[in-house]
Amino acid sequence: MKSEDLSPRENLRIVTQVCDTLDRMHAQGWVHVDVKTNNICVQRTRRGVQAKLIDFGLAVPESHRYNFESQNECWHVAPEVLLNEPVTSAADFFSVGRLLQEIDANVCDLNPLIRMWIREAVSAEPTRRLDLYVVSELITRMLYSTM
């Protein structure tokens, strides 16, 4: 299912569900490294849209150096991963920022605070990236206010 096939609210719910999954991974000391639209399965159910993050084949323990060798598009991969530097959860923050950029470009105008989070999330400097909890809370507030 493409982001264009979903409503703005559904796209944002998907992001919060991905953030929840990543929070659980990070709490266990793991980083996904490869968060992108192709690695999110979406299904419409009676309870609304349900998203599952998949493809944990590249996941690494935090602080691990990752030798990322790909001939494919790497727009979604954090710079420190591409440079074989120690990986932290901030690498996934970067990828979620890229995911939100795609959603913003394709389907909806995001709240200015979410756009600010995105700008920080896609920073080349991992320490500038804000936690996923922040964007998840902003999106949740946006979903429960009028869009």
Each residue of 35-88: pLDDT tens digit? 999 999 999 999 999 999 999 999 999 999 877 776 567 889 999 999 999 999
Read off the pLDDT of each residue in 12-35 and give the average, rounded to a whole number.
Answer: 95
| Whether 109 is catalytic | no
CATH T-level assignment (fold) for domain 3-57+75-144:
Transferase(Phosphotransferase); domain 1 (1.10.510)
Per-residue pLDDT tens digits for 74-99: 889 999 999 999 999 999 999 999 99
Contact indicator for 113, 119 with CB cutoff of 8 Å: no
Q: What is the dihedral of CA 128, 114, 22, 93, to 10 degrees?
A: -30
Task: Pick the catalytic residue from 20, 34, 55, 109.
Answer: 34
